[in-house]
Amino acid sequence: MHDIRTIRDNPAAFDAALSRRGASPVSSSLLALDEERRAKIQAAETAQAEQNAASKQVGAAKAKGDEAEFERLRALVAEKKQAVAAMQAEAKELDAQLTEALMGIPNLPFDDTPDGKDEDDNVEIHRWGTPPELSFPPKEHYELAGVVPGMDFETAAKLSGSRFVVLSGAVARIHRALAQFMVNTHVDENGLTETWTPVLVREEMMLGTGQLPKFGEDSYQTREGWWLVPTAEVTLTNIVNGVVVEEGYLPRRYVAHTQCFRSEAGSAGRDTAGMLRQHQFEKVEMVSITHPDASREELDRMTKCAEGILEKLGLAYRTMALCTGDMGFGARRTHDIEVWLPGQNTYREISSVSVCGDFQARRMNARFKPADGGKPQFVHTLNGSGLAVGRCLIAVLENGQQEDGSVKLPEVLAPYLGGKLTLTAEGVLA
């Protein structure tokens, strides 16, 4: 959420930054609403002062025995009290309107965020590895002979509908191994704190990280009012919701492996085959809470943490800086990491790492006390996949595929698979 005071100070700069995201100017309407709100607050304060003054005079008139003046002043107090209540209610309503308007405005991009309209304008900033040269036509993950016995879409459709999967046997174990490998690497080598959080959250938590109110259709809500998290970003970031921490507490770096749930609204007809786009999936999520001066550097650090997972797995990837037109609602700069999928003969997103500045912190009222004793300031927040487990499974299976339908698995998974690094064409580990 944006600070209305910043918009007041330089509305033209605010609109110019917003226009880079393809959004229309909004400062004039926001400032008009803000001016009306402040006028109501001022009028209520003036009427309150008049009411207080008249209240003092009521006692004096009573003491003097001036019944006429007493009745006049008492009526005036009642009138002012009613007027104050009405103006305060109007000011509260205008304040709610302003807050709602501010919550619907996307974050402003950093100066180094590339300008553009869509994914075609994203900029490659890093590339690692070479896609494997296969001597046979590559297949997609769900077509591989060794995968078919352990990846059941028909049973999942019977149980839950489309865009679900039942994993079993060796494939389920590889999926679990990947998640464990990711978490252990982030904890042991990258210094993140392992965290286990709920997947059901209150509405204010979704508001805090920006999934609500604008993107409610992308998530699921229970009858009791809880929301199913689309990512552990919601829970990890909201750890500091409403909290004022000491500066020395920063940075806080969390990692969590959770189930995630997305309705995939607006994605009808896209990636319907296989596991690429599911309603329920697993993700290892990274979140950092930092000092404002350190957040841009932290973005690069988190990006390297995610890239490092792919490098250990030996998977070729490229890292893209998203342009202003393709960036998420709450981000100021985003790095998408795309892994090579032989079955599709292209790179596909497997991680998205974003710095949000104080955008989420304002929504959550998450602040820190400066070490020098100054006024509390808003923290900065970052989030990123480290990685999407299902998509990583797809990449491992497709990149390691052999002509007979078996799969050679990355050596780093050996400790998690009992030393067995081959998924046979019959669907068992060997």
Residues that constitute the known binding site: 231-233, 262-264, 285, 349-352, 383, 385
- The catalytically annotated residue of 262, 301, 363, 367 is 262
262 catalytic? Reply is yes
Give the integer Cα–Cα distance in Å for 327 and 179: 26
304 Cβ contact partners less than 8 Å away, ≥ 6 residues apart: none
**Type of residue at 109:** P
Q: CB count, 10 Å around CB of 214? A: 13
Q: What is the DSSP string of 185-224?
A: HHHHTT-PEE----SEE-HHHHHHHT-TTTTGGGSEE-TT
38 catalytic? Reply is no
- The catalytically annotated residue of 295, 391, 398, 406 is 391
User: 3-class SS at 96?
Assistant: helix
- The catalytically annotated residue of 202, 203, 349, 362 is 349
Extended strands (E) in 118-277: 123-128, 151-152, 166-167, 193-194, 200-201, 220-221, 227-228, 244-246, 252-261
Give the integer Cα–Cα distance in Å for 56 and 53: 5
Q: CB count, 10 Å around CB of 54? A: 19
296 catalytic? Reply is no
- The catalytically annotated residue of 352, 354, 363, 367 is 352
**Residue 375, both tokens:** 């006024």
Nearest Cα to 384, choosing from 292, 324, 311, 319? Answer: 319
Which residues are 258's β-sheet partners? 283
Nearest Cα to 26, choosing from 105, 108, 117? Answer: 105
- The catalytically annotated residue of 38, 176, 252, 277 is 277
Annotated binding residues for L-serine, written as ranges, equal 231-233, 262, 285, 383, 385
Cα 173 → chain centroid: 29
277 catalytic? Reply is yes
Annotated binding residues for ATP, written as ranges, equal 262-264, 349-352
What is the set of active-site residues?
262, 277, 349, 352, 391
